[in-house]
């Protein structure tokens, strides 16, 4: 019987990119000022529709034990862009790291649009 070396079998848990994207979306949608998500620019994965709904809005790049994320969001018309982006970055990083146990090295946030459909103070 062949002996299995520790190098070949890490015994780690494999977490799909779709699950990581779902965690990131759930964390981002709880941030005040985020009104929704936008479709990410077309690439091979989106053109051939590989993956589920969360991967349409979040790009996940994994290498070794590190995760890099890129979210495409829409913000409310009265939100301050720097504040919303910084809050989204921190919330997503904390959520993904705590739920997966992997290190998030980068969280990029792209503002794809501003949602003007929400009522302002004068319209309420």
Give the pLDDT confidence of 21-36 residue by residue, as tens digits. 999 999 999 999 999 9
Predicted confidence at residue 120, as pLDDT, reads 52
The pTM of the full predicted model, rounded to 2 decimals, is 0.77
Instruction: Tally the domains of the chain.
Output: 1
> Is 53 a member of any domain?
yes
pLDDT in tens, 36-76: 998 887 766 555 555 566 678 899 998 888 999 999 999 99
| 3-class SS of residue 50 | coil
Q: Is the dihedral of CA 57, 60, 24, 55 positive or negative?
A: positive
**Which DSSP category does 55 fall into?**
G
- Domain range holding 60? 17-113
> Is 3 a member of any domain?
no
> Is 47 a member of any domain?
yes
> Is 5 a member of any domain?
no
> Is 26 a member of any domain?
yes
Contact predicate 107/89, CB 8 Å: yes
> Is 124 a member of any domain?
no
> Is 120 a member of any domain?
no
CATH of residue 76's domain is: 3.30.70.1350
> Is 7 a member of any domain?
no
Alpha carbon distance 97, 39 (integer Å): 24
């Amino acid at each position: 019987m062949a002996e299995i070396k520790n190098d070949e079998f890490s015994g780690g848990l494999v977490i799909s990119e779709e699950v990581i994207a779902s965690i990131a979306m759930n964390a981002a949608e709880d941030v005040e000022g985020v009104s929704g998500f936008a479709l990410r620019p077309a690439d091979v994965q989106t053109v051939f529709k590989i993956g589920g709904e969360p991967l349409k809005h979040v790009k996940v790049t994994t290498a070794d034990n590190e995760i890099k994320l890129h979210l495409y969001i829409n913000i409310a018309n009265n939100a301050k862009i720097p504040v919303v982006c910084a809050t989204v970055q921190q919330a997503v990083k904390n959520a993904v790291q705590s739920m997966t146990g992997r290190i998030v090295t980068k969280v990029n946030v792209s503002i794809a649009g501003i949602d003007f459909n929400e009522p302002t103070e004068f319209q309420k």
